[in-house]
Each structure stands twice: as structure tokens, then as C-alpha cells.
Amino acid sequence: MRPPIRRRSRLFPAGSAVLALAAAGSVLAGAAGPASATGSSVRADLRADVNRDGQVDVSGGTDKTGEDSWSVGRGAVFLPNIDDDTKRCPVTGPGGSPLSDAKLAACNDATDTKVNGSADASDLARVHSVPMAGVSADAKGSLEITTGGKHARLFVKRSGKWVLVTSRTRLSAAELRSGVELGVEGTDVVRDSAKRDGRAVVRLTVKAGSETTSDSVTLRVAPLLTQHHLQDTQQVMVTEVQGQGAYSRLQQKFVRELAKEVGKAGVTKPLVKFTKYADPWAQDFVEPAYVSMTGPGGERQVMRVMLRSAQPDRDAGRELFEKMRGRDMGVVQVTDRAEPDDWSLNSMGNLETIPPYAHGGRSFPAGRIIMGERKDSGARPSKVMRTLLKSQGLQDPLLLDTSWLGVGHVDEFVQFLPADTPRGWRIGIADPKAGLRLLRDAKAAGHGRTKMFSVPGRSDSPAPRETIDQALADRHLVADNEMAARRIAANLEILKRETGVTDGEVVRVPALYTRDSEASAAGGQDVPVPRLTRMGAGADLVGALKDRGQQKWLAKNPAASSPGAKAPATVTTSAYVPGAVNGVLLGRDRYLAPRQWGPVIDGKDIFTEAVTAVYRRVGLKVSYIDDWYTYHLGMGEVHCGTNTLRNASSAWWRLPATA
């Protein structure tokens, strides 16, 4: 009797109204109000950085045209001032007690009425009044935000200090003659464009005797944008699980090896290490995003925004507030009180970003988000998260079908790679047919008795024993990979249709998948879920991972932890050989993949050789890191256990050329 194959069942832009209209023309602002001082030669005139060059033109006309409208390519921008430049926000309560999630999120630089230090002034969008040299001595000016005032704040610069503008603020005749500098900050990102479109209309009204003149300018809060792989890696994030247990030691070794690989790729900043909550899936509890505008002097003012996953009970997201929030670093969290049954879809490994493109009359200058949904069951990622992302108006999320995956994340089968082509990027896609072909070729060459995996065993996790012959003879493996190939092909057709990518721009990376729960050939018993999982099942090898959200997911999905439970009607899979597309792009020419641990023939791992050759053909140097016991057995790979901060200084409003 051949030994059973060991299964590792691993559970664990139609844009906003504002920008959709903008794509066709412009977004109408609130009525600015014409000057009403009939016959007067003195008129109020406000100017903002409409052309986004970092200067407010008060003497010419470069910032005059379009000041009362807003489009993707033109219109003044202001930032949601949600960072913490002076680190004033508390992260613990009295006596070091933990704060609630709501209280952690309740503090940032926009929650007070001050400009918090010189650094915070760079987060203010500038508005200037044109000097009114002929204004009379009795003239007074008043300022207000006539649209969007609940979500924006206005300051005036006096004697080198920023002073909050209130209903009682008056500009003197001297200030009107010399012109004043104003600063605008937002108090939040746009969360639902149906309720708020992000505009702020600033109005100056001047009264002199019986005459009144006024002028307005329109600004819009900068869209919250996710990163894409044409943006260079600046820093890598990873969880470092504390303790001296077996899993902790393995995972700490992974972190040390990761640091070496990051350094070799030319990334000089040290790793950001999450250490508090023992959730190893650094890709899943956060999605790095950003907001930006052109600041004074033409330099891009970028504020990173850590977008916490919509998993209220996933404690690891708290460390974004406790550790990362600071100067030019904010955090946004959304709460979905009607939490979907499929907790895993809300992990941020289920959110990736297509690089910028234009196709079919639509343009995505900042790239476009993809997310996975389970079409077979109708489960989708959190509605409030999808609403937030769609409301930014630039990255209209595209949903792909991940019904066939146990975890259900798009990072399990697709990636985007830089390319020296007119488009600038390619699609990397997992190719189960190529994986099967490698095994069949090896068998045909007489190597069928070679072990399927070369990974060394451990006392707490024996190495797999199956051979290539046994793998190919398995009653499910071939059929399931043929199914996976069909599902991947269907998703690829969606991507090609939406982006215009051709087959010649697709990088097909050998892969193999295995079903998440099946009866073994030997005893007919379902294989229980392993202890370390990405999808939410229980604790890790040493009990370090104690996330309440995972326990909640198990409560909703009892079949996931019941050894005798029936397999679901829809067969779901995860990586059999460590998923090479589930790696990390460290540089335009450097890629870090999970070590393959495939069959070794004539001294060479046939999967490593094949994967390396595929990436080399498109100009990438591949390094490998061992993640078998730290992530692979938990239904994830290197990408799932890491995250990246990328250079976000490029102008998100510059439209890409059609490839």
C-alpha cells in the first residue's frame, strides 16, 4: 500500500460621484458668488494651487482657470490631517490599561484645533488672498468654508503663527491690502461619497461701507490610494513573534533571513517589526496606503495611511496606532457591524493593486484595486471597506473570483511585475498546468520514485513522504489542479479585458495546489486543519496566535476544525508546492520567492529551476527564503507574512498613456 499523500489543509473605477463626473469634465462647486460692490474697483480674489505645482499664483492667471471646479487632472487638493506629528495621541489608558479601538482611532492632528508644530504646517494646503491695495480703511474681511465645513478646518497665518478661523475672525484692512495666507486641513478621508464628496469651498467676503465683494475657491480632500508595484520599495514590514517556543524560534529566524534579503536588494531602512500580538500575517491586518498633494516649493507632501483590515476582532491592527502612527503616518479603520460570514475575505492579502493603465476609454492614473469574492457562495469583502475604496474615485475595485481557494485571497495566484514596455508592467500568474507538466516530465524521464518534497522534517512536523508517482496517482491532485487552472484562466480573462493586457504580457509561473480537506487514500478520514493557519483556525504551533477574530471565524465555520466533517460542496485549494507568485517584489529587478522544496533531480530542485527561469526571462533576479514551517503550512507564503512601504511621491493625477 502506498503511503497517503499528506495534505496541508490551511485555513487560516466607476468612481465616486465627484471623480466620475470629473472624468467627463469637471465637478461643479457650490456657487462662489460674484462681486456685489457695483462700480467698485476693489474685488475679493482667493487663489489656491489649482494646477498643483506647489505655488499659489496671485499675480498671474495659472491658478485662476478652474478654481471653482475639480477634476482628476486639475483642482486644488488638501490633505486629511490624520497623522500625529508630535506623537501626542495616547496609546494606553490609566495605569497602562489598553484603550478601545474607538479611542485609539479618535486621536490625530485633525482632532484638535491647533497646528501641531512646524511639521504639521506642511500638511496644510495653502490658499492666498490677492492683495487689495485700494481697499478703504474701514474694510473688514470674513472667511468661511461654505461647503464641507464639517470635514475641513481653516487657519490664517498671523505673525508667523497659524490661527484657527472661526465665525468671529475678521481680516483687517491692512491684512486685506497685503494679502493673507490661509491653510486648509481635512479631518478625515472620504468614507462614503454618497454622503460626502470631499469638497471644501473656501469663501472670502469683504465689506467696505455699504459695498460687499466675495470670492470662493474649491478644494477636494486627497484620495486615499493603495500602492502598486511600479512604486519602489522603501521599507519592509514583518511580524516578529516573541518567545522561545518552537514556532517563535523558526519565525524569528525567518525575520533575520528576511532582513538580509532586503539589504541585498538595496533597501536600506531597517525592517518595521510588529512584536505585540503574535499575528504572523503582516500582509493581512493592514494595507499601506497614502494621500498626497504638492506642497510649497513643488515637493510632494506624502502622508502614509495604514488601512486596517475590516476585522474588528483582529487585535494585530491595534499596533498600527500603538507603534506606527506618527509624523506623516496616519491610520484609518472601518467597522462593519454586519460582518460577513467569510472573515478571511477581509484580510488585506485579498487586496492588490494593478499598476496605472488606460484602456477602453477609462483611465486609472493611480492604478486599480483588485479583491477576491466567492461567487459560488455570494460572499464578498466587507461592504464598508469596498465603499471606502470606491469612494476615493480613482481605483474602482475590480472583483475576481476566489471561490476555489480556501483562504480566498487574490495574492495566492496573481501579481504585477515591472516591465520595460510601453505599459510598464506585466501580470504574473500561477500556472498549475506548468506544475503538472514538471511532474509528468520527471516521471517520463524515470524519476517517478523521487520524493515530491525535499524539505527536511521536524519532530513536530514530519516531512511529506509522497513521491512524484504517488502525487500524480492521487485521485484528487490532478483534477483539482486542472480545476484551478480553469479558474485562474477565467480570472485572467477578466484582467485582460479590463486592462488590455495581451498574452505576451503574462508571466506564467509554475504552481501546484491541493484541496483543503479530503479523505486520505489510506483510511478514508478527513485530514484535520493544521494548527497554524492564515484563514483563522486556532493557535499556531506554540499557542502564540490567539486572535479572537480567528476563533469567531471557527465558530461560524465549525467544519474547518472538525476532523470528521464533510468536505464543502465547492472544492477549495491552497498551495501544494510553496506558491512562487506569493512572494515580494523588493526592487524593479529583485524578487523574493518562497523556497520551493520540490523534487530534487540530478542535484537540482526542478521547481526552483523552472521558477527562476520564468522570472529571469522578464528581467528579475530571484532569491529564495524558507517559509515552509513558518507560513506555508499555515496556508500562506512570504507575501502573506510581510508587507511593504513604497515610494508614493509620484503624481497620482497624471494620466497614463494607453499601452
Residues contacting residue 160 through CB under 8 Å, at least 6 positions apart? none
Residue 5 lies in a domain: no
**Where does a domain end: 186, 203, 221?**
221
* Residue range 374-423, pLDDT digits in tens: 999 999 999 999 999 999 999 999 999 999 999 999 999 999 999 999 99
Asked if 282 and 172 sit in the same domain, the reply is: no
Cβ contact 79:153 at 8 Å = no
Strand 573-575 versus strand 351-354 pairing type: unpaired
Residue 651 lies in a domain: no
Cβ contact 549:533 at 8 Å = no
Asked if 61 and 119 sit in the same domain, the reply is: yes
Asked if 246 and 329 sit in the same domain, the reply is: yes
| Average pLDDT, integer, range 218-222 | 98
- Among candidates 184, 187, 62, 178, which has minimal Cα distance to 122? 184
Residue 53 lies in a domain: yes
| Average pLDDT, integer, range 164-172 | 97
Strand 329-332 versus strand 300-308 pairing type: parallel
Would you say residue 642 has pLDDT above 50? yes
The three cell numbers of residue 5 are 499523500
**C-alpha span between 21 and 30 (Å, rounded):** 15
Asked if 135 and 253 sit in the same domain, the reply is: no
Would you say residue 424 has pLDDT above 80? yes
Q: How far apart are the first and last CA of the chain?
A: 56
* Residue range 95-153, pLDDT digits in tens: 999 999 999 999 999 999 999 877 778 999 999 999 999 999 999 999 999 999 999 99
Instruction: Please report the pLDDT score of residue 519 as a whole number.
Output: 28
* Residue range 453-499, pLDDT digits in tens: 999 998 778 889 999 999 999 989 999 999 999 999 999 999 999 99
Cβ contact 392:190 at 8 Å = yes
* Residue range 310-362, pLDDT digits in tens: 998 899 999 999 999 999 999 999 987 665 558 899 999 999 999 999 999 99
The three cell numbers of residue 568 are 464543502
Asked if 254 and 315 sit in the same domain, the reply is: yes
**C-alpha span between 577 and 486 (Å, rounded):** 19
Residue 94 lies in a domain: yes
Instruction: Please report the pLDDT score of residue 340 as a whole number.
Output: 55
**Where does a domain end: 188, 221, 254?**
221
Instruction: Please report the pLDDT score of residue 516 as a whole number.
Output: 81
Percent of the chain whose pLDDT exceeds 70: 84
Instruction: Please report the pLDDT score of residue 535 as a whole number.
Output: 59
Instruction: Please report the pLDDT score of residue 104 as a whole number.
Output: 96
* Residue range 228-240, pLDDT digits in tens: 999 999 999 999 9
Asked if 214 and 304 sit in the same domain, the reply is: no
Asked if 195 and 267 sit in the same domain, the reply is: no
| Average pLDDT, integer, range 175-188 | 97
Q: What is the CATH number of the domain that holds 511?
A: 3.75.10.10
**Where does a domain end: 172, 190, 221?**
221
Instruction: Please report the pLDDT score of residue 552 as a whole number.
Output: 37
Asked if 213 and 282 sit in the same domain, the reply is: no
CA distances from 23 to 69, 71, 147, 165, 362 (A): 12, 7, 22, 33, 9
Instruction: Please report the pLDDT score of residue 561 as a whole number.
Output: 43
Identify the DSSP state of 610: H
pTM of the model: 0.88
| Average pLDDT, integer, range 502-509 | 98
Residue 657 lies in a domain: no
Would you say residue 174 has pLDDT above 70? yes
Would you say residue 11 has pLDDT above 90? no
How many structural domains comprise the chain?
2
Element (H, E) at 357: strand 357-359
Percent of the chain whose pLDDT exceeds 90: 80
Cβ contact 252:294 at 8 Å = no
Q: Tell me, what amino acid is at 557?
A: N
CA distances from 539 to 191, 249, 378, 518 (A): 34, 16, 28, 22
Instruction: Please report the pLDDT score of residue 481 as a whole number.
Output: 98
Asked if 298 and 192 sit in the same domain, the reply is: no
Residue 3 lies in a domain: no
Asked if 336 and 355 sit in the same domain, the reply is: yes
Instruction: Please report the pLDDT score of residue 24 as a whole number.
Output: 32
Domain that holds residue 362: 225-646
* Residue range 297-309, pLDDT digits in tens: 889 999 999 999 9
Residue 7 lies in a domain: no
Asked if 276 and 335 sit in the same domain, the reply is: yes
Beta-bridge partner residues of 288 = 306
Residues contacting residue 260 through CB under 8 Å, at least 6 positions apart? none
Asked if 210 and 259 sit in the same domain, the reply is: no
Count, residues in the chain: 659
The three cell numbers of residue 173 are 484692512
**C-alpha span between 238 and 221 (Å, rounded):** 31
What is the average pLDDT score of the chain? 87
Residue 240 lies in a domain: yes
